[in-house]
Amino acid sequence: MRQTIRIEGIPPNLNITRNLHHYKSNSEKRMWSDVVALLVKQQAIKPVTKVKQTFEFYFQDKRRHDPDNYAACAKWINDGLVNAGILPDDNFTYIESLTIEQGGFSKQPYVLVHLLDVS
């Protein structure tokens, strides 16, 4: 089974988060985790036990974006999936693979998180 979560906006990337004060970083992480937890309920995402994940980013502009800088986004989103009970945990036992892709461009940036159940 394949499920897709649409997240409006893009969480801060690694270049941004590494310069945040730890209180601000924790606050941002908690906010994005809460957003994801709410979205999975609204979008009726079902719990999974083992997945292959693809994070598909739709950016607002055509500037270059380094895929590895968006690993921080994946971390915060996965924490939200764990908190919402969609994933048991965010380690290799439950996430077989994680891919970060550029999906395209949009006036309103967003992220699609594809969960392919491989259990």
37-93 pLDDT, tens digit each: 889 999 999 999 999 999 999 999 888 877 777 887 888 899 999 999 999 999 999
pLDDT at site 85: 94
Contact between residue 100 and residue 57 where contact means Cβ atoms under 8 Å apart:
yes
Report the distance separating Cα 93 and Cα 119, nearest Å.
11
Please state at what angle helix 22-42 crosses helix 71-83, rounded to 10 degrees: 60
Mean pLDDT of the chain: 87
Contact between residue 49 and residue 109 where contact means Cβ atoms under 8 Å apart:
no
Q: What percent of the chain has pLDDT over 70?
A: 89
pLDDT at site 56: 96
Q: Which two tokens stand for residue 19?
A: 């310069």
- Is the model's pLDDT at 33 over the cut of 90? no
User: pTM (2 decimals)?
Assistant: 0.86
pLDDT band at 27 (very low <50, low <70, confident <90, very high): confident
To which residue do tokens 């992220």 refer?
111
Report the distance separating Cα 71 and Cα 59, nearest Å.
15
Contact between residue 87 and residue 51 where contact means Cβ atoms under 8 Å apart:
yes
Comparing 107 with 68, which gets the higher pLDDT? Answer: 107
List the domains of the chain with CATH numbers.
2-117 (3.30.1330.70)
pLDDT at site 63: 83
Report the distance separating Cα 14 and Cα 94, nearest Å.
23
Give the distance from CA 72 to its chain's centroid.
9
